[in-house]
Amino acid sequence: MKLLNTLRVRFALWTAGLMLIVLVLFGTFVYFSMHQGLANSIDDSLRLSTSQAIAAVNIENGQINFSDSLPEGSGVADLQERGFTIRILSLNGDLLQAVGPYRNISIDLLSIKNAVAGEPGFSTISLSDSDPVRIYTAPITNDQHLLGVVQVMQSLEDLYATLKQLLIILLISIPILLIVSAVSGYYLAARALSPIDEITQTAQRISTEDLSARLNLHGIDDEIGRLAMTFDNMLSRLEDGFKRERQFTSDASHELRTPLTAMQAILHVTRQRKRSPEEYEAALDDLSEEMDRLRALTEDLLYIARGDMRPTMPHEVVNLSNLLTDISESLQPMAEFKGLQLKQNIQSNLYIKGDSDALIRAFVNLLDNAIKYTNEGEIKVNAMRDTNESLQVTISDTGRGIPPEHLPHIFERFYRVDESRATQGFGLGLAIVQEIVQTQNGIIEASSQVGSGTVFRLSFPMIEDTIQESEI
């Protein structure tokens, strides 16, 4: 039973079963076609022989001359040599003259009656000691006068012998062909499924610790080859995903360890001896600062972790013009505190579908970064429609900029550019911004020049601006 569970054996059995049905149907068709063809050939031969026999009958003065009705030198002798039997009967069915091996078989009066009525026909008589005999009965006429009836007979021995030989050939060839088809089906299945075995063996070698195994079935452009290529691509994606998760876990552990270590150090130093109220208050302030850092990091980590598994939520209609204006005004005091100008150029009635809370977090992160890493100059917030049925938002600053070698990596989790913008924070802000923008069906890009500043460009699908403010 275990052997039957293999796909090779089942494929071989399916092939043999299908071949059996085809061969049985084909053999049956050939057998009955051969039978019908041989039977028609015998009937045609009997008709022709009957015509020759009637032509050989000697008719004088409107009567059959029985003294010489079937002369030896005529075509009748030739028919007799070929195994035909010829009988001449009266209109009443009486035997008048006969030659051949079956001249004494019983007379079918119904055939005589039909022939006298002008309807020649065939009949078959079964014999107990030999094969059946085929008989053709036809009238003998002269000048439209009915003189008698002639019967030409032929044994069906050759027909049945031929059919028997054909049946033997079919009974021998069909099992041989079945065996050949089963073996061929097994071989072809084994050859076609050999890449599947490789996939199985590769899958058994794969673990979460090592996803580097690949099939590398090159040059096979069929279903199996495409399956192998898909399998390799899936392994590559899984490997990249596991690498990112391991890196994320490592980075998260490191980031979490930093404030915890600082808190532990503060507590350890503070408890070494009695201190004044002012020193205890300073220690509590340091602990509060580290707690705030730990809380912010934990919230960012939770947001990213939930984002990886967050189902798609229905979005609401958001007036992006009002949202950007409110965010800019709320961060205006922070910019003025650093002596920066926060300028706005926001068109009115810019509507998108999205999550307003998530969008607020994204734009606050971008503007907070711009203010934090710009020492002098200005920060601009622009929002306008473009010609592609979308709207563009740009946030630019005149800060220190990002070196070109770091620019492609700024949206990666925990990535920091120590020499420019990421001297503070955890390296999660821009990663969260990118995730938020993508969940709103948007696109975010960054360009920067060291010493000249950085520009973030965001693009969102825009909806019609005919929605009233009360609907938002």
Please determine, for residue 3, whether its predicted confidence score (pLDDT) is greater than 50.
yes
Mean pLDDT on 26-31:
94
58-67, 125-134, 211-220, 419-428: which has the minimum mean pLDDT? 419-428
DSSP 310: P
pTM exceeds 0.75 for this model? no
Helix axes 157-205, 223-270, angle to 10 degrees: 20
Q: What pLDDT, in 10s, does the model give residues 32-53?
A: 999 999 999 999 999 998 888 8
- Amino acid at the residue 311: P
pLDDT recorded at residue 467: 45
Identify whether the C-beta of residue 74 lies closer than 8 Å to the C-beta of residue 81. no
Sign of CA dihedral 401, 405, 406, 408: positive
Mean pLDDT on 59-70:
66
Confidence of residue 254 (pLDDT cuts 50, 70, 90): low
pLDDT recorded at residue 78: 67
Confidence of residue 23 (pLDDT cuts 50, 70, 90): very high
pLDDT recorded at residue 396: 94
Domains with residue ranges and CATH for the chain: 3-161 (3.30.450.20), 223-309 (1.10.287.130), 316-471 (3.30.565.10)
Residue 89 to residues 103, 116, 137, 150, 471: CA-CA distances in angstroms? 11, 11, 10, 6, 112
Please determine, for residue 54, whether its predicted confidence score (pLDDT) is greater than 70.
yes
CB burial readout 413-436, b (16+ within 10 A) else e: bbbbbeebbbeebbbbbbbbbbbb
Q: What pLDDT, in 10s, does the model give residues 422-452?
A: 445 566 778 888 888 888 888 999 999 888 8
Confidence of residue 421 (pLDDT cuts 50, 70, 90): very low
What residues contact 394, with CB distance under 8 A and at least 6 apart?
380, 381, 382, 383, 455, 456, 457, 458
81-90, 208-217, 421-430: which has the minimum mean pLDDT? 421-430
Residue 443 CA, distance from chain mean position: 32
Please determine, for residue 190, whether its predicted confidence score (pLDDT) is greater than 60.
yes
Q: What is the percentage of the chain residues whose pLDDT exceeds 70?
A: 84
Identify whether the C-beta of residue 363 lies closer than 8 Å to the C-beta of residue 323. yes
3-state secondary structure of 115: helix
Nearest to 407 by CA among 462, 371, 444: 444
pLDDT recorded at residue 163: 94
Mean pLDDT on 293-308:
69
- Token pair 């010493």 is found at 451
| Averaged confidence pLDDT in the chain | 82
Confidence of residue 208 (pLDDT cuts 50, 70, 90): low
Q: What pLDDT, in 10s, does the model give residues 371-418?
A: 988 888 999 999 998 867 789 999 999 988 888 888 888 887 777 665
pLDDT recorded at residue 432: 82
Identify whether the C-beta of residue 451 lies closer than 8 Å to the C-beta of residue 400. yes
Comparison of pLDDT for 198 and 322, the residue scoring more = 322
Comparison of pLDDT for 251 and 86, the residue scoring more = 86
pLDDT recorded at residue 427: 67
Comparison of pLDDT for 303 and 267, the residue scoring more = 267
Q: Which residues pair with 134 in a beta bridge?
A: 124, 154
Q: What pLDDT, in 10s, does the model give residues 87-125?
A: 999 888 888 888 888 888 888 899 999 999 889 999 999
393 vs 363: CA distance, rounded Å:
10
Please determine, for residue 323, whether its predicted confidence score (pLDDT) is greater than 50.
yes
Q: Which residues pair with 381 in a beta bridge?
A: 344, 395
